[in-house]
Amino acid sequence: MQRWYKQRVFQIGVTLVIMGCNLLASAAERPNIVFIFSDDHAVRAVSAYGNSLVETPNIDRIAAGGVRFDRAYVGNAICGPSRATLLTGMHSHANGFYSNEWSGPFDGEQQTLSSLLQASGYQTAVIGKWHLYSDPVGFDHWDIIDNAFEQGTYYNPSFRSAAGVEEATGYVADLVTDKSIAWLEQAKNESRPFFLLYNHKTPHRDWMPGPQELRDWDEEVKFEEPDTLFRNLEGLTQARSEARMRIEDYITDNDIKLSMGRNLTPEQEALWRQAFAEGNRQYEEAELTAEEDLRWKYQRYVKSYAASIKSMDRQIGRLLDYLESNGLMDNTIVLYSSDQGFFLGENGWFDKRWMDEVSSQVPLLMEWKGHIKPGTTSDALVQNIDFAPTLLAAAGVKPTTPMHGVSLLPLFEPEPKPWHRDLYYHFYENPGFHGVARHYGVRTERYKLVYYYQNDEWELFDLVTDPADQVNLYGKPEYDAITKDLKQRLAKLRAQYQVPETDPEVPWYHGPAIRAVEQLMKWM
């Protein structure tokens, strides 16, 4: 009897060891995840997409090693709400974060990508821009930009973590990368897989280049102007004519470097003067016409934007080099995207917010060795609600409750099934900084229908013949059938996502406060 008992215990022990080894192997096989997330990075400024304003060789490495999505969009083109969607896989009305300016702190206790991965055994970290006015939940480690209302400064920002607030010295992209590599250095030694949300501030307004780009600044370099830089918006919708986004009227001296950069050390100030002082002197002494003045401001704006991207791209290269040199790329998913696109002079505008292609479309690049064929492209309609479901599916984790988005993994199969889908968009932040009217709409394979519900105005665009959203076809008799179909599709999406018929209330003081700040910005 005793002998039988010992044999049985031995057999059970062996079985448990084998089961444990299988579990460990399963965990080891789950991919690491590095999500590189930038701010306001337009597709037209990513060289992997061609015809770019700036070369981004390191971001392009992800496309070369994996897939480039050519039709990726966000559901609300503004920073905080887009970040909330990344975490929840839900549109703004469902995750509760509608606006940068009046949503209040993000509710991190709801179901999120980070919490689900953490509960499944992942090491989790977020480093860099957060901009959700809360302490991150679901992250073992967090070290987020803290100053300037969580927007941060390009130079010498402060960071907030569980340990408190740290005043840092240096350029923000460098600092975020230093901190990320330091965390990866300890995470790679654990048996558990890791998830790193590596968040850049760049290239958010006011587009301050890093030290190397200041040294390399060439005032004589000229960028190609968009065809619509001088577009006359009179006679279009009230929403477009009332928006406060024109470069000629609303860009500030800080934006175009006529003022000294903010938060600089004496050494950094010297670099700043070296780059901009002579060009500023020439501009201030010149007697420019209105057209010449807009052209000069456009060049300064876009060149600063592009230079800040170069500063960020170099740091992304550092992080990719670290992953490769430490043998981590073989089992790591690397994604690159942005919280929204950006107007780079189109319509004479800067900023984002609109359902227009340049504003709502984002770069989306994804590399996963052995699962995604290098150098491929996809024209599937995808959206930022899909980020969380995709990464959870790759990690073998099921959400507790359904998300609005869907996994993109089926697109990587050798013979993927047809992908048919309409996308929903909803912008809420009015009153807001740039006076963009609230609107929602549907984007299909070919058409886009937009409703400015505060003004009761509609726009309809044929994205095959008019990919730049220039010709409003709404109300033309030959498009009546298409309009009817699109309105039905839009109603179906609103029902599917259970969008409330009324928007959340805005604090009574918000409108006057925004108008006061706007005036202050114009004087700066």
- For the chain, the structural domain boundaries read 31-211+294-411
Q: Give the integer Cα–Cα distance in Å for 361 and 423.
A: 12
Tokens of 426: 């909803």
The pLDDT value given to residue 11:
38
Residue with tokens 């498009």: 479
Type of residue found at 352 = K
- Is 31-211+294-411 in CATH node 3.40.50.300? no
Whether the pLDDT of residue 522 is over 60: the answer is no
Mind listing the pLDDT tens digit for each residue in 120-159? 999 999 999 999 999 999 999 999 999 999 999 999 999 9
Tokens of 145: 């930009």
Q: Give the integer Cα–Cα distance in Å for 375 and 379.
A: 14
Tokens of 377: 């492209």
- pTM for the whole thing? 0.93
The pLDDT value given to residue 524:
47
What is the rounded average pLDDT for all residues in the chain?
A: 93
Whether the pLDDT of residue 520 is over 60: the answer is no
Mind listing the pLDDT tens digit for each residue in 180-224? 999 999 999 999 999 999 999 999 999 999 999 999 999 999 999
Q: Do you know the residue count of the chain? A: 524
The pLDDT value given to residue 12:
36
DSSP secondary structure string for all residues of 422-466: -EEEEE---S-TT-PPPEEEEE-SSEEEEEETTTTEEEEEETTT-
Mind listing the pLDDT tens digit for each residue in 382-401? 999 999 999 999 999 999 99
The pLDDT value given to residue 102:
86
Whether the pLDDT of residue 515 is over 90: the answer is no
pLDDT above 70 coverage of the chain, percent: 92
CA-CA distances (angstroms) from residue 145 to 133, 175, 196, 371? 11, 10, 16, 34
Whether the pLDDT of residue 16 is over 90: the answer is no
The pLDDT value given to residue 354:
98
- How many other C-beta atoms are found inside a 10 Å radius of the C-beta of residue 401? 7
Main-chain dihedrals φ then ψ at residue 343, nearest 5 degrees: -80, 125
**Lowest mean pLDDT: which of 232-236, 244-248, 268-272?**
232-236
The pLDDT value given to residue 220:
95
Q: Give the integer Cα–Cα distance in Å for 154 and 168.
A: 11
* Pure H helices in 107-236: 113-119, 172-187, 211-216
